[in-house]
Chain A
Amino acid sequence: MAQYIEQPLTLYSRWPKPLAVLVDWLTTTDHKKIGIMYLLYSLLMAIVGGAMAGMIRSQLAVPDNTLLRPELYNEILTLHGTIMIFFVAMPALAGFGNYLVPILIGARDMAFPRLNAFSFWLLVPSGLLMLASLFVEGGAAAAGWTSYTPLASKQYMATPGVDMWIFSLHLAGLSSILGAVNFIVTTLNMRAPGMRLMEMPLFVWAWFVTATLILVAIPVLSGALTMLLTDRLLGTNFFKISEGGDPLLWQHLFWFFGHPEVYIVILPSFGIISHVLAAFAHKRIFGYPGMVIAIAAIGIVGYLVWAHHMFTTGLSTLSLILFSAFSMVIAIPTGVKVWSWLATIWGGTIRFTTPMKFALGFIALFILGGMGGIFLANAAVDFSLHDTYFVVGHFHYVFAGGTVVALLAATYFWFPKMTGRFLSEKLGTWVFWLFFSGVLLSFLVMHFLGILGMPRRVYTYRPEFTSLNQLVTAGYVLQLLAGLLLLFDIFRTLLKPKQDLPPDPWGINEVQKTLDWATSSPPPPYNFERTPTPDQWRYEPKEQAA
């Protein structure tokens, strides 16, 4: 049973084994294999995006550096942002979501397995388009991941790289939308008999809310991208000022997608953290209903804050005040989550495994990121902080210190479940401390840089910012070492023979009672030999309705 990953289905059994395995993976509709492919895709793209971060930090290691041409620097910063969001964070979360959601709700697979495979494979041409755009004449898109017009219009950026960027995001967006449909239907229809919505593990709730966010936000992005594309290629004038268009329309549409987007990459991370903390504190998650409400509240209020990215564009005072107020409201449910996590580990018996280290590190960094967010939500102060390195520091705290750290926690946590092998705890400790201190250093210093007057997206800076920028670069080196060590450990472990692990290799499910630890490691095809029964996930028997 545990051998099934290497055992292709009978269809290809008469073929030579390597070919059979390859064709099986290429044609699979199994949510677990698709999930693993998502994760590998994300890992590959993380190498590319991380290398781009390295180019950025090398360029900024000294002022007036001539390592990258200004044009190339802008292309790299654009692709770094785009790749890290669309091709690293989202596929990685989709990978864990795909693998875990059906298992956590006791289902055999996603609701639409074939659509699921299609969602994944869409990312391949999407990623190839994005990377290939670097090599076309004129270079890749260079207007930042936000691609503001008129800079991204034909007039100022004639390169086909921008069109490739648009097509690539169209494909990635379609992939996300189809995936979201799948998650919503799966969650609503595929739960094991007797599992109520308020009995679903938090990771499932988080992904469910995320999927609704994707379903509303990404089509808006696709629409805006289409408008930009027709402006560029067909001569429409949605954003062209001389013809009555308006560049601010792009910003409103983009951020109507863009702000929910940042919750799309943080909500599933919240789910992951909840699972890991409870597991290794040996307690149940504190305040489950409050946690569910908080996730939903963040999702809903997340639609009402998009213009806080546009405080300095010349919005009316009333708009400034309303969007500032809604942005501050976000802090309340987010705070509820942090307090509940602290209450979860309070009084527990904490085992400092690698995933637990990452989960605790997540809380430490996420609190810092959130506090920076309150300064930015405060419109009066944001007039000075907007578009500076303070913002870059803030979103990297919640993106690298939040999402990426949560993904690392998930990787270490579910690796034995997915592969039947443990990653090294010894190396994991190194990975954690290197990454944690690197993130802490780089992005804390960025906050200072922003306050002292260094704007974002510049390829050089005034000499007074040199020493602080070198600290940021030093922090990058620490993160890079962590990444290399993790890659080494993953591939080394995968080459080792499988260990014979029990269903609950961490020994946590007595308290947790989630279904991922109630099936073998790795799970068999269709996940469960028998349909899970309520006693496997219910803490206390409830009276059956007559």
Chain B
Amino acid sequence: MLRKPAWAAFVIGLLMTSGCRFADPESTTTWLFDPATPIAEEVRQNFWYTASLIAPFLILAEALLLYAIFRFRNRAGRKPAAFHENVKLEVFWTLVPAITLVMIAVPSFRLVHKITHVPADTELEVQVFGHQFFWRYEYPEYGITLSDEPLVLPANKKVALTFSSVDVIHSWWVPAFGFKQDANPGRVATRWVQVKPGYYKGQCAELCGALHGVMWIEVVALPEEAFREWVRARKRGEAPSIEELRAMLSGPQVAKQED
């Protein structure tokens, strides 16, 4: 009776979150359901690990609350208890959460190190610049510039991404990659990705002005051959559309027909 709204909301929420995953293949892919990078995989694991460690506390606390509410009603003839301290109990409920938090912290800090340390063997560098209100990508190796276009990455390769901004602070966020990074003007931050082949959506995550809400990000991670074909096409001055890019995901044949 008491927590009906809670359960209803929870169940509806679960149904809807699962619903919008399966109903619409075009949904934003997330680190929790479809991690696309090694980092995102580990973030997902770390999320569930954290959840499993704190769930007992959540369930216990809410259950004790509910139990107390039903068990200790003011009924005729009941006398309230008089205890108001218990040192052993208080030490216990201080120490147990502390130990749990250490268990959460250790793997978390390892993962933080992994997110922030770019491996030495990255094969490509892409510079990401935030603009009001679009993203610009520079490939110094190829001399390619993408302005307000989807980012194209070689799939399964370690790529270093450097983030900066030309005006205000933006934040580059593709949920499936398991991290976001602020693009600060006057600063450069480096992160890395190793993306499974596919098409990913994201958007700016730091309020950057009027059109912050529509500062979209699209990423296509192409298999090796297709990626090379795309680089050649860009150098020829072509700019494949997002539909063409997504067609290339299944192989480079689209581009080859023109030869």
Which residue of B is nearest A240, CB measured?
A: B186
- Is A9 an interface residue, CB under 8 A from the partner? no
Are the C-beta atoms of B47 and A375 separated by less than 8 Å?
A: yes
If A351-B74, A371-B54 touch, whether A378 touches B20 (CB-CB below 8 Å) is no
Which residue of B is nearest A433, CB measured?
A: B5
Considering the chains assembled together, what is the distance between the CA atoms of A364 and B202 in angstroms?
34
Binary contact readout B15-28 vs A (1 if CB under 8 angstroms, 0 otherwise): 01101100010111
Which chain B positions have C-beta within 8 A of A70? 210-213
Which chain B positions have C-beta within 8 A of A85? none
Are the C-beta atoms of B207 and A74 separated by less than 8 Å?
A: yes
Which residue of B is nearest A459, CB measured?
A: B213
Which residue of A is nearest B69, CB measured?
A: A360
If A320-B116, A339-B93, A349-B78 touch, whether A368 touches B180 (CB-CB below 8 Å) is no
If A348-B81, A349-B78 touch, whether A151 touches B65 (CB-CB below 8 Å) is no
Considering the chains assembled together, what is the distance between the CA atoms of A324 and B27 in angstroms?
31
If A290-B90, A375-B50 touch, whether A453 touches B202 (CB-CB below 8 Å) is yes
Which residue of A is nearest B204, CB measured?
A: A455
Considering the chains assembled together, what is the distance between the CA atoms of A38 and B28 in angstroms?
46
Contact of A364 among B54, B62, B93, B181 (CB under 8 A): B62
Are the C-beta atoms of B9 and A331 separated by less than 8 Å?
A: no
Are the C-beta atoms of A379 and B205 separated by less than 8 Å?
A: no
- Is A384 an interface residue, CB under 8 A from the partner? yes
Which chain B positions have C-beta within 8 A of A344? 84
Which chain B positions have C-beta within 8 A of A475? 9
Which chain A positions have C-beta within 8 A of B29? 453
If A456-B205, A464-B28 touch, whether A281 touches B180 (CB-CB below 8 Å) is no
B199–chain A nearest beta-carbon distance, Å:
14
- Is A51 an interface residue, CB under 8 A from the partner? no
B176-217 at interface with A (beta carbon < 8 Å) = 178-182, 184-187, 189, 201-214
Considering the chains assembled together, what is the distance between the CA atoms of A380 and B58 in angstroms?
21
- Is A524 an interface residue, CB under 8 A from the partner? no
Contact of B72 among A247, A350, A462 (CB under 8 A): A350
Are the C-beta atoms of A287 and B47 separated by less than 8 Å?
A: no
- Is A34 an interface residue, CB under 8 A from the partner? no
Are the C-beta atoms of B24 and A335 separated by less than 8 Å?
A: no
Considering the chains assembled together, what is the distance between the CA atoms of A455 and B184 in angstroms?
18
Which residue of A is nearest B35, CB measured?
A: A384
A438-458 at interface with B (beta carbon < 8 Å) = 440-441, 444-445, 448, 451-453, 455-458
Q: Which of B102-110, B148-156, B220-228, B233-241 contacts A (4 or more CB under 8 A)?
A: B102-110
Are the C-beta atoms of A312 and B47 separated by less than 8 Å?
A: no
Which chain A positions have C-beta within 8 A of B104? 328, 374, 378
- Is B79 an interface residue, CB under 8 A from the partner? yes
Total chain A interface residues with beta-carbon distance under 8 A: 100
A351–chain B nearest beta-carbon distance, Å:
5
Are the C-beta atoms of A287 and B85 separated by less than 8 Å?
A: yes
Are the C-beta atoms of A444 and B10 separated by less than 8 Å?
A: yes
Considering the chains assembled together, what is the distance between the CA atoms of A458 and B51 in angstroms?
28
Are the C-beta atoms of A445 and B9 separated by less than 8 Å?
A: yes
Which residue of B is nearest A455, CB measured?
A: B205
Considering the chains assembled together, what is the distance between the CA atoms of A500 and B47 in angstroms?
57
Total chain B interface residues with beta-carbon distance under 8 A: 97
- Is A303 an interface residue, CB under 8 A from the partner? no
- Is B146 an interface residue, CB under 8 A from the partner? no
Which chain A positions have C-beta within 8 A of B46? 378, 380-381
Binary contact readout B64-89 vs A (1 if CB under 8 angstroms, 0 otherwise): 11001100111100111111111001
- Is A25 an interface residue, CB under 8 A from the partner? no
A295-331 at interface with B (beta carbon < 8 Å) = 312-314, 316-317, 320-321, 324-325, 328-329, 331
- Is A461 an interface residue, CB under 8 A from the partner? yes
Which residue of B is nearest A379, CB measured?
A: B112
Which chain B positions have C-beta within 8 A of A352? 73
Are the C-beta atoms of B184 and A332 separated by less than 8 Å?
A: no
Binary contact readout B107-124 vs A (1 if CB under 8 angstroms, 0 otherwise): 011011101110000000
Considering the chains assembled together, what is the distance between the CA atoms of A444 and B13 in angstroms?
8
Considering the chains assembled together, what is the distance between the CA atoms of A248 and B185 in angstroms?
10
A492–chain B nearest beta-carbon distance, Å:
27
Are the C-beta atoms of B79 and A349 separated by less than 8 Å?
A: yes
A388–chain B nearest beta-carbon distance, Å:
7
- Is B140 an interface residue, CB under 8 A from the partner? no
If A317-B113, A458-B212, A464-B26 touch, whether A282 touches B54 (CB-CB below 8 Å) is no
Which chain B positions have C-beta within 8 A of A312? 171, 179-182, 205
Are the C-beta atoms of A151 and B209 separated by less than 8 Å?
A: yes
- Is A26 an interface residue, CB under 8 A from the partner? no
Which chain B positions have C-beta within 8 A of A429? none
- Is A533 an interface residue, CB under 8 A from the partner? no
Are the C-beta atoms of B50 and A151 separated by less than 8 Å?
A: no
Are the C-beta atoms of B43 and A347 separated by less than 8 Å?
A: no
- Is A115 an interface residue, CB under 8 A from the partner? no
User: Nearest 4 pairs between A and B by C-beta?
Assistant: A347-B81, A458-B213, A241-B186, A437-B5
Listed by A's residue number, 23 A-B pairs whose Cβ atoms lie within 8 Å are A70-B213, A143-B207, A283-B81, A286-B83, A320-B112, A324-B109, A325-B105, A339-B93, A342-B65, A368-B58, A379-B109, A380-B112, A383-B179, A384-B179, A387-B206, A448-B17, A451-B17, A452-B28, A455-B173, A460-B214, A464-B20, A467-B20, A471-B16
